[in-house]
């Protein structure tokens, strides 16, 4: 028997049964971008789900994530959050902000990669909200995960109660938040008499898992195009499907996905994680100059580049309603002007 198609209200109710703290400004607006759509051609309509407007220290998708992750931490009576990613991590910036609001100590272990450790962009904001920052050469992925686990163990031995980045637990919980986001989108489009023809988002993890699960649970026939910002040392479609299924379990839903259900495009990663691309810079400038909406140069800009390329290739019929989920990341604009300015400026 196929899994039932649910209503947005059913998903809101299921999510509210989980431990949660309210951190984000929800629902975020769904804003049409008509001048941008006219510029890219194809006769499509483009709607931007403004998750860059979630609040929590300049917004972004991690505000949604942290409603459930820090809700889990509070539910476990943790007094410390041990987290990590790259130096210019949007995730760490919004986690540090959530900790500040909730009175939790935040310890960040940031992988240097190719970034400067000068206090600018996201890193400056980490310091401003009181996070304790240490830099490491551990690579993002299993190596950094192991470092975070070891740090958390040290805090436990000292009598603390840390909440730590542990991929099998935190990724499905974070994915729940983007099932909720898709339910918001469906309701907002329905009020306009529309249904989505496609969903676009920059993600190869929790956000993409939630978007894809939300699409399935709500019975949407449209593609959910995940533009991957980086490669992982595991097959992305299999991992995203597994995380989506774990999120469905948390929500007590019978729906299950397979790797074949995941539309993950790794073709926009070049020239590398955390580095802008010519197509991404074009997308950033087009949206900024037509709609005054800023994309970040390495996540959302590359996802918008994928949307532009698909429209220019004739993938969608005129009148199609394309939804771009804006995951935020605007502080990254201020780390390196050469990554975002047009040539000649």
Contact 29, 80 (CB under 8 A): no
- Ramachandran sector of residue 184 (left: φ over 0; alpha: ψ -120 to 50; beta: rest): alpha
What residues contact 291, with CB distance under 8 A and at least 6 apart?
31, 33, 35, 36, 48
Give, in order, the Cα–Cα distances in Å from 164 to each of 171, 206, 331: 12, 16, 24
Q: Verify that 151 and 173 share a domain, yes or no.
A: no
161 and 188 in a single domain? The answer is no
| 334 and 268 in a common domain | yes
Domain range for 85: 62-166
The domain total for the chain is 2
pLDDT at 88: 94
For 119-141, the pLDDT digits (tens) are: 999 999 999 999 999 999 999 99
Average pLDDT of the chain is: 96
> Please, which residues bridge with residue 200 across strands?
225, 324
Any idea which residue has 């510029």 for tokens?
39
Question: Pairing relation of β-strands 80-86 and 198-202?
Answer: unpaired
- The mean-pLDDT minimum among 49-53, 59-63, 113-117, 335-339 falls in 335-339
Contact call for residues 69 and 92 (beta carbons, < 8 A): no
- Give the model's pLDDT for residue 37: 98
- Residue ending a domain, among 115, 150, 166, is 166
Chain centre distance of CA 120: 21
Q: Where are the alpha helices (DSSP H) in the chain?
A: 8-15, 34-40, 61-75, 90-102, 121-128, 142-157, 167-190, 206-217, 236-250, 278-291, 300-312
Contact 173, 69 (CB under 8 A): yes
pLDDT band at 103 (very low <50, low <70, confident <90, very high): very high
Whether residue 244 contacts residue 211, with contact meaning beta carbons closer than 8 Å, is answered with: no
For residue range 33-84, list pLDDT tens digits in order: 999 999 999 999 999 999 999 999 999 999 999 999 999 999 999 999 999 9
Q: How far apart are CA 213 and CA 233, in angstroms?
A: 23
Distance CA 113, CA 115 (A): 6
For 184-205, b/e burial (b = at least 16 CB within 10 A) is bbbbbbeeeebebbbbbbbbbb
- Residue 182 and residue 302 in one domain: yes
Quickly state the pLDDT bin for 31 (edges 50, 70, 90).
very high
Instruction: Answer yes or no: do 178 and 148 share one domain.
Output: no
Question: What was the pLDDT predicted at 115?
Answer: 86
Residue 221 pLDDT grade (very low, low, confident, very high; cuts 50, 70, 90): very high
Residue 344 has pLDDT above 70, yes or no: no
Q: Is the pLDDT of residue 86 over 80?
A: yes
Q: How far apart are CA 31 and CA 130, in angstroms?
A: 33
Which of 166, 183, 198 lies at the terminal end of a domain, its last residue? 166
Strand ranges of the sheet holding 224-227, from the earlier edge strand across to the other edge: 30-32, 45-50, 321-326, 198-202, 224-227, 263-265
Question: pLDDT tens-digit profile of 240-293?
Answer: 999 999 999 999 999 999 999 999 999 999 998 888 999 999 999 999 999 999
Looking at 166, 200, 234, which one is the last position of a domain?
166
> Do residue 233 and residue 308 come from a single domain?
yes
- Which CATH number goes with the domain that contains 89? 3.40.50.1100
Q: Are residues 196 and 327 in the same domain?
A: yes
Of 199, 172, 176, 177, give the one whose Cα is nearest residue 186.
Answer: 199
For residues 87 and 206, membership in a common domain is answered with no
Q: Do 282 and 327 sit in the same domain of this protein?
A: yes
């Amino acid at each position: 028997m196929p899994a039932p198609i649910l209503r947005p209200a059913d998903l809101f109710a299921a999510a509210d049964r989980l431990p949660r703290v309210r951190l984000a400004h929800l629902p975020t607006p769904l804003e049409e971008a008509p001048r941008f759509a006219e510029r890219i051609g194809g006769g499509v309509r483009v709607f931007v789900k403004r998750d860059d407007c979630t609040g929590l220290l300049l917004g972004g998708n991690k505000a949604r994530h942290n409603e459930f992750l820090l809700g889990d931490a509070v539910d476990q009576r943790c007094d410390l959050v041990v987290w990590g990613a790259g130096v210019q991590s949007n995730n760490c910036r919004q986690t540090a902000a959530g900790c500040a609001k909730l009175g939790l100590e935040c310890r960040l272990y940031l992988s240097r990669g190719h970034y400067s450790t000068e206090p600018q962009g996201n890193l400056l904001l980490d310091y401003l909200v009181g996070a304790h920052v240490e830099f490491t050469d551990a690579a993002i992925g299993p190596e950094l995960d192991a470092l975070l686990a070891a740090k958390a163990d040290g805090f436990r031995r000292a009598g603390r109660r840390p909440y730590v980045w542990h991929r099998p637990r935190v990724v499905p919980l974070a994915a729940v938040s983007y099932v909720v986001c898709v339910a918001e989108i469906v309701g907002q489009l329905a009020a306009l008499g529309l249904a989505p023809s496609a969903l676009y988002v920059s993600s190869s993890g929790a956000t993409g898992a939630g978007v894809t699960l939300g699409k399935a649970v709500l019975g949407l026939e449209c593609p959910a195009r995940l533009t991957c910002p980086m490669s992982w040392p595991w097959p992305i479609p299999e991992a995203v499907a597994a995380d989506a299924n774990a999120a469905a379990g948390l929500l007590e839903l019978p729906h299950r996905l397979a790797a074949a259900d995941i539309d993950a495009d790794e073709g926009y990663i070049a020239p590398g994680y955390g580095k802008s691309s010519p197509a991404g810079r074009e997308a950033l400038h087009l949206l900024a100059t037509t709609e005054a909406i800023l994309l970040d140069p390495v996540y959302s800009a590359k996802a918008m580049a994928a949307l532009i390329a698909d429209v220019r290739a004739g993938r969608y019929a005129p009148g199609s309603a394309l939804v771009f989920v804006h995951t935020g990341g605007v502080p990254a604009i201020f780390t390196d002007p050469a990554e975002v300015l047009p040539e000649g400026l």
